[in-house]
Structure 1
Amino acid sequence: MQNKSIMVILTLGFALFAMFFGAGNLILPPYIGLLAKDNWVEAILGFTTSGIIAPFLGIIAVLKSGDSFTDLGKRVNLKLALVLATIIMLCIGPIVAIPRTGATTFEVGVLPLMPDASPIWSSIIFFAIVLVLSISPSKIVDIIGSYLTPLLLILLATLVVVGILNPAVIPQSSNIGASQDFAMAFQEGYQTMDVLASVIFAGIIISAARQKGFVNLKERTNIVLKSGLLAMGCLLFIYGGLIYLGATTDYQFTETSSRTQLLLHISTSVIGEYGTLAISVSMALACLTTAIALTCAVGTFFAELTNNKFGYAEAVISCTLVSALFSINSVDDIINYAGSILGFVYPITFALVIYVVLFGNKITQKLPYVVALLITTFISAFRVLAHFNIATTEINYYKEFIPLGSHNLEWVIPSFIGFIITYFITKNSSKKFVTT
């Protein structure tokens, strides 16, 4: 039984790592390191907070609530939860995350090896593979965890270790303070979308653990948590290494440069002539595993949401078609238009996760959670306005007076105050959720 548990933890942990580690997770850290320079440690801490710790808390929040995001949403309001879940699925699905996997595969995995390749044909081939492997989701965790992820980890670990042992240059002095580099890296962590994905992926991993014979709640929870810790440990090693490589690169980033060009330069500098091939294969594997997992999640969600009136197969086909269309955009274009969307939905999901993890067992009234999320939504909406240069001066002026505003966490204190005040007002309310 012990050997079985270890193998299941390895399989599920590697699968979860591969699900999280997609396009943004590979191209963002080097760019963060490049910007942070000698503040690369603070940058790692910032990116780790929003890109590793927060997603792990998302898994814990789902475990504390039940088996899926719907169970987590019941702690607030089922209808509101379904609206939020739909927005999340569109973000981590055909609007942002999945198209970015296809675009990144083309720019990093295909174009360096075939300079004359067409993004349209690359998108068609990539999403045809995704469709074939996603149409039957029963074996997806085993395929990803047992075969694809080990190869991906070996390639990435080689790049990171060789790069750390042979840095191109000594990190230069940062032009801004360490706290600002922390905030920058924290904000960039939103682009991974891993908090959004974590509340969905948790259900996939929980279901996989049950299918492997861990039907007892305590055993299943233990397996999922250990798998999550393994995945997060792998992410920390890769993220930290890539940020350091970005801080020690000699690449001169200009207005015409892209994040993918930076990554390709680093891989070539570190590994030499095989660097391009190694990073191309790594990117293809990372993007493929994430795209498959996300497509399966989208298909399952919309099939359940519509009571199979819009079936799993139809949802998967629709998802791949829309994703293929959006993926023709460049990676930087997708990152740019995703910024405003993620700046809105990410804090809301993050807030739900934090409050359930911290207070879910003790505070069972629904209203405190609703108020906290509404306050977070209100504040996040102003960030979207600022992203589109609407009332930017006024918003930045008031942001300076809100605690943690300089760290892009201006929603934390107001939502917490609203949560606590509402809790004391509604202590004796009968409108409570049922804890598991």
Structure 2
Amino acid sequence: MKNKFGPAITLGFALFAMFFGAGNLILPPFIGLKSGSEWFAAVAGFFTTGIIAPFLGVLTVVLFGTSFTDLGRKVNPFIVTVLASLIMLCIGPIVAIPRTAAATYEIGIKPLLPGFNNVVFSVVFFAVVIFLSVSQSKIVDIIGNFLTPFLILSLGILVVMGIMNPPDVSKITGISTQESFVFAFHEGYQTLDVLASVIFAGIIISAAIDKGYTNSNDRFKITIAAGLISMAALLFIYGGLIYLGAHSGYPMSENISRTDLLLHISNEVLGKNGTVVISFAVALACLTTAIALSSAMGSFLEKFTFGKINYKVGVVITCLVSAYFSVKSVEEIIDYAVVILAFVYPITFALILTLLFFGKIIFSKTPFVAAVVTAALVASLSVFQYFNIFSEPVEQINSWLPLSQHQLGWLIPSFLVFFITAAINSGRKKHFKSINSD
């Protein structure tokens, strides 16, 4: 019998580090600051979209294959390929990877070396990413066995010290328990982890196969174990950072810099050493995520181009494009990412949820395609709203959609269309069976 504990720890730590990038580090303290005394409700909200939802993405992929594109067998290969391309651009060279470099520069380098040029830093950062990403088979072990323990240790010191000796008391900010939950729920989208989960699942499953878990049942168990370990680690770090944000005593203003807030907390908790510790943590968090995402993008390009762009060339291309976007500030990247996420998130989530709940009992592809298309149509309203196109009709439609105020306006229409399509398909099958029997 295989010893699953060691591999599960390695895979779980690797998955944690893949998820825990720039957004995961700078968002929770900001959420805590805004929530104040209602910080616990904020933890619950962020837990929902920042931890549970990504875990469902991993679960869906391992249930139906070994990679995200395998879901095409259950839905439609073309739709899943297009969606995979959009996801890879979001979590790859346009948003997520550049944000890792920008965050490392703003939090990890600039406070220690104020005169260090951000362009030079981007070149160095992505040179390291390329060096550590080219050996595809060793990536999970490098991240899980070496980089992640140091990451958890540095963040753990900050969280434990902050909880034992909070810099300030939590303030009543005027935000209710429900508002705090909803705000954190919305901020959880910015982690990009639901999108990343369906791609990271493939990396973890591939690593499990390399470790000898070739049987589908064993592969499922080890992947779920890794997912639960990563969830526990994420909850500890997220909860601690939200708590520290709530107790930071940082002045509230309209233009709060998330990176400045994190630096303030680290200095208040750890004194002069705070900047060094948080710089180390940021560098590791962002580096591990950048490595995982660059590797995923390299693999995707190789598969998408049928080998014309090999893995190593794909990694280099990804890093070059990412370096170009990384010279923007973290806030600028977050701002332009909003509209992209507002479109891609609902489509991905609709696919995950319908497959997870009904993929084993409904075998027709039509209901799943209908649900995804419906989610895409509703999501396009957010794009129109962002660019102020058809503003009045769009606002009116959004006012009719249940849960639209929580960015979940796609949820009920997608499931409604799914059920209607499934019922029609079932009726047709019964009709044809009746004709054939006659």
TM interval, short-chain normalised: over 0.9
Q: CA deviation at 1:389?
A: 3.8
- Give 3-state SS (helix, strand or coil) of 1:251's partner: coil
Matches within 5 A, 1:18-417: 18-392=17-391, 394-417=393-416
* More displaced 10-residue stretch of structure 1: 101-110 or 39-48: 39-48
Structure 1, residues 274-308: CA drift from partner, whole Å, max 9, x if none?
A: 11000000000000000000000000011011110
Q: Distance in 1 between matches of 2:425 and 2:415?
A: 15
- Gapped regions of structure 1 (runs ≥ 5): 431-436
- Give 3-state SS (helix, strand or coil) of 2:4's partner: helix
Q: Which position in structure 2 is the counterpart of 1:433?
A: none
Q: Which position in structure 2 is the counterpart of 1:434?
A: none
Q: Distance in 1 between matches of 2:203 and 2:107?
A: 29
Label 1:185 to 1:388 Cα distance change in 2 as closer, same or farther (>3 A). Answer: farther
Length-normalised TM-score, structure 2: 0.95
Structure 1, residues 343-376: CA drift from partner, whole Å, max 9, x if none?
A: 1101111111111111110011111111111111
**Number of aligned positions between the proteins:** 429
- Give 3-state SS (helix, strand or coil) of 2:401's partner: coil
Report if the CA contact (8 A) 1:183-1:408 is conserved: no
Report if the CA contact (8 A) 2:367-2:418 is conserved: yes
Report if the CA contact (8 A) 1:180-1:406 is conserved: no
Q: CA deviation at 1:228?
A: 0.6
Report if the CA contact (8 A) 1:103-1:328 is conserved: yes
Q: CA deviation at 1:236?
A: 0.8
* More displaced 10-residue stretch of structure 1: 121-130 or 391-400: 391-400
Q: CA deviation at 1:168?
A: 2.5
Q: Distance in 2 between matches of 1:310 and 1:215?
A: 28
Report if the CA contact (8 A) 1:180-1:407 is conserved: no
Structure 1, residues 167-223: CA drift from partner, whole Å, max 9, x if none?
A: 223322233433232222122111111111110111111111111111111111101
Runs of 4+ with >6 A deviation: none
Report if the CA contact (8 A) 1:15-1:141 is conserved: yes
Q: Distance in 2 between matches of 1:359 and 1:174?
A: 42
* More displaced 10-residue stretch of structure 1: 303-312 or 176-185: 176-185
Report if the CA contact (8 A) 2:130-2:316 is conserved: yes
Q: CA deviation at 1:311?
A: 1.4
Length-normalised TM-score, structure 1: 0.95
Q: Match for 2:153: what amino acid?
A: I
* More displaced 10-residue stretch of structure 1: 166-175 or 137-146: 166-175
Q: Match for 1:32: what amino acid?
A: I
Report if the CA contact (8 A) 2:63-2:220 is conserved: no
Q: Distance in 2 between matches of 1:172 and 1:27?
A: 20
- CA RMSD of superposed structures (Å): 1.5
Structure number with greater Rg is 2
Q: Match for 1:374: what amino acid?
A: V
Q: Distance in 1 between matches of 2:374 and 2:178?
A: 25
